[in-house]
Structure 1
Amino acid sequence: MTTDQWVIPFYQKQFKWLRDAEAEMANYLQIEANNIEEQIGIEFNSMLDIGAGIGSIARALDARGIAMTTLELVPDLVEAARRRSPKSIDIHLGDFYTYTFPKQFDVVSYFDGFGIGTDEDQLNLLKRMKSWVKDDGSLLIDIYHPNYWRTIAAGQKMKIDDAERIYSFDEEHCRMIDSWWHNEHPEEIVTQSLRCYTVDEASSMCEKAGLTITGIFPGGAMDFDNWTYKETAPLSGCLSYRIKLTKTI
């Protein structure tokens, strides 16, 4: 599999244009670490987080004594993670479809990014994630919900720090489209495109990978009328939902 050409340029630009607000996110990161521990439901000692970005979640869990390993494709993000992280976090730069690990983990996660490439790519990634987790371990994956992107987000435009963005929805391929540009250079647009899945579609794909959904956790949603973010929303109206997976017996 060849990674889509948009991936590295998009996330490089996004990282460059956004203000460094990690210090302001401290409370959010602790809440997210709590959520992860609650969603796994049992004590775990090791975790691999792929698509880890600058490693914020990894640092929050490392501080709780979890042996964290991260895998990220974008060099700029990996460099930032290495500058900010303690030596206890094992940070890797590489492609999810070719990178290998010499050990397995209690938990393998992919937050806020699943859906790059084709359905076949997603299936292959699930199989690779399955190979990285222990037989009695769990996976946590965020899945974008098509209802939200089709009916709520499509057409919405916003400004964030030095950037502007607009959402759209590719109905034929069931993909959310997220286009960004620097506010001083609107002609230079970078776009991410992520496949959205209903719960039934996600469940069917996971079954093909030898995985079973054992938990579903709806995420939040943006209220564009009032310009506020709701931390929790109904499954049918959430931006994304998180699934917990175990190996099928």
Structure 2
Amino acid sequence: MIAPPKNSEWAKAYYTTGGSFWSGEENAESGRKRAQTIARLAGPDRRAVLEIQSGHGGAALATAQAGYDVTALDFAPIQSENARRLVNQAAPGRLTVVAEDQHTVDLGQRFDVVACWDGFGIGDDEDNLRLLHRIANDWLAPGGIAILDIFCPLPWAAAHGRDQTLDRNHSTHAYRQNRRMWFDPITAVAQDEWCPLSDEDGRRLEDLRITQFIRCYFPADFVRLASSAGLQTSLMEIDGAPLSSDRLREAWHYLVVLERGK
């Protein structure tokens, strides 16, 4: 049975080492799309944005360039350092980068929007509930919204046992990769392993192998989890369209919008 480890040390190792594999430069277009999603869902009056697990900062930069004041929070030093290099490009908005643990950091302010792209579910239910409580009680301003990507179980289940070799698809990628994927239908946890390959002989470079564990949620299960943190789900969609059975079978994640319960 696959279950995420109780502590987050694996996540720190995964994102720190993985941050040296991928620069994030190839994600500029996805960053712009995420900024557009914030503009569409938040409207013109919500301007202060917190992005948690912000990675290399591509989405945070695009959001700042759309006129928002963005705080980018990530615990991986390499990725946060890359994000800091973008700060001077943030006009007309502002970009502040914070390299701290999301469970313990004291940001000292509230935000109109809290966003988490491709990052919710890296712990067990207790960890994820703790993060939702932080969103509800520590970070959301009155009238604010949270926008989260939630990993869907069905595509991960379909990918169980996949073993594939991935070529570099961007000039900044340091290695070709061997990717292996597993999914446990009992715990709804995906195990996603990446191992660089030697350019000389194609062997796996095991000392650089990294693994992430992702807790996936069916929509009804996530709604219950969020509700227990005092958050109500006001919207669920995939690529801007309402959820459907067919889309949930194909999309790796779906988007939810949360508000503090009234």
TM-score, normalised to structure 1, is: 0.87
Confirm or deny: 8 A CA contact 2:6 2:124 kept in the other structure. Answer: no
- Give 1:244's aligned residue: 257
Q: CA deviation at 1:56?
A: 0.7
- Give 2:212's aligned residue: 192
- Rate the CA distance shift 1:124–1:28 in 2: closer, same or farther, 3 A: closer
Distance (whole Å) between structure 1 residues aligned to residue 24 and residue 14 of structure 2 = 19
- Rate the CA distance shift 1:182–1:236 in 2: closer, same or farther, 3 A: closer
- Map 1:141-152 onto structure 2 (within 5 A): 141-152=148-159
The letter for the 2-side match of 1:129 is: I
- Give 2:15's aligned residue: 11
The letter for the 2-side match of 1:187 is: E
Residue by residue over 1:14-39, the C-alpha shift from the partner in whole angstroms, topping out at 9 and shown as x without a partner, is 22122x462x5443332222122213
Distance (whole Å) between structure 2 residues aligned to residue 160 and residue 129 of structure 1 = 38
- Give 1:71's aligned residue: 73
Pair 1:172 & 2:179 matched: no
Distance (whole Å) between structure 1 residues aligned to residue 146 and residue 164 of structure 2 = 33
- Rate the CA distance shift 1:41–1:32 in 2: closer, same or farther, 3 A: same
Residue by residue over 1:151-200, the C-alpha shift from the partner in whole angstroms, topping out at 9 and shown as x without a partner, is 24651524142122122112332111110111024423210001000000
Q: CA deviation at 1:2?
A: 7.2
What secondary structure, in the 3-state scheme, does the structure 1 residue paired with 2:9 have?
Answer: coil
Fraction of identical pairs, as percent: 28
Unpaired stretches in structure 2, ≥5 consecutive residues = 169-174, 199-203, 241-245
Distance (whole Å) between structure 2 residues aligned to residue 21 and residue 186 of structure 1 = 22
Q: CA deviation at 1:207?
A: 0.5
TM-score, normalised to structure 2, is: 0.83
Pair 1:98 & 2:104 matched: yes
What secondary structure, in the 3-state scheme, does the structure 2 residue paired with 1:108 have?
Answer: strand
Pair 1:205 & 2:225 matched: yes
Confirm or deny: 8 A CA contact 2:153 2:216 kept in the other structure. Answer: yes
Confirm or deny: 8 A CA contact 2:194 2:210 kept in the other structure. Answer: yes
Confirm or deny: 8 A CA contact 1:215 1:244 kept in the other structure. Answer: yes
- Give 1:129's aligned residue: 135
Unpaired stretches in structure 1, ≥5 consecutive residues = 221-232
What secondary structure, in the 3-state scheme, does the structure 2 residue paired with 1:53 have?
Answer: coil
Task: Number of aligned residue pairs: give it.
Answer: 235
